[in-house]
Amino acid sequence: MLRAYFQETLIEAGLDEAGRGCLAGPVYAAAVILPRSFAHPLLNDSKQLTEKERYELRPVIEAEAIAWAVGFLEPEQIDEINILRAAFRSMHLAVEKLSVVPELLLVDGNRFTPYAFIPHQCIVQGDAQYASIAAASVLAKTYRDDHMNRLHEDFPHYGWGKNKGYATREHQEALNLHGPCVHHRRSFRLDYSVPDAAAALGE
């Protein structure tokens, strides 16, 4: 069962990102401040939920959260500052957009670039432990999926409607055939045409 809060006095915002390991598209992050009384039977780490469950949860989170916001960085920004820093920066952008200023940030993972004047707590697998981080994971994932679905309309040959920019076999084969487009991250390895590509992908 998810924990409602990390401590009892400060206003907490859960932070999580989506799309860090993708070959294409932005990295998204969300920040969510939930009431301490918030509970929902489906809420969990977004990776443990079905697509239908994530989209069922999103309007509930948005309606009942004290505050929520989403931020993202595009591929050219990812290439410029690297994906780790881009993930942290997208989290900062989400925090900046919150209508309520949090007093503590609960960050999924083991590292974070400190946000000015707000202390943070890194929590490994936090999206499976704390409700606010799980809620942030759902928003980040669904908003990024929406974005990749829109990009899919103009670039259908990469299969982003299904793979959302991750390095699936379908995506790799499309890259080998068509090459990268403007939405691919050029700092990532995109050429998988070598004979041992399958081995490199763990297949």
pLDDT recorded at residue 201:
39
C-alpha span between 151 and 161 (Å, rounded) = 8
Q: 128-186: per-residue pLDDT in tens?
A: 999 999 999 999 999 999 999 999 999 999 999 999 999 999 999 999 999 999 999 99
The enclosing domain of 147 has a CATH number of 3.30.420.10
Domain assignment present for 201: no
CA-wise closest residue to 28 among 137, 105, 124: 137
Domain assignment present for 26: yes
Domain span including residue 62: 12-178
pLDDT recorded at residue 192:
62
Domain assignment present for 197: no
Q: What is the 3-state secondary structure (H, E, C) of 5-71?
A: CCCCCCCEEEEEEECCCCCECCEEEEEEECCCCCCCCCCCCHHHCCHHHHHHHHHHHHHHCCEEEEE
170 assigned to a ligand binding site: no
Q: Tell me the pTM.
A: 0.92
The pair of three-digit structure tokens given for residue 61, joined into one six-digit string: 């989170």
203 assigned to a ligand binding site: no
Domain assignment present for 130: yes
CB-CB contact of 170 with 159 (8 Å) = yes
Domain assignment present for 164: yes
Q: 66-85: per-residue pLDDT in tens?
A: 999 999 999 999 999 999 99
Q: 45-71: per-residue pLDDT in tens?
A: 898 999 999 999 999 999 999 999 999
pLDDT recorded at residue 41:
93
Domain assignment present for 101: yes
Q: 80-114: per-residue pLDDT in tens?
A: 999 999 999 999 999 999 999 999 999 999 999 99
pLDDT recorded at residue 57:
97
16 assigned to a ligand binding site: yes
Q: What domain count does the chain have?
A: 1
Domain assignment present for 1: no
pLDDT over 90 (residue 194): no
Domain assignment present for 188: no
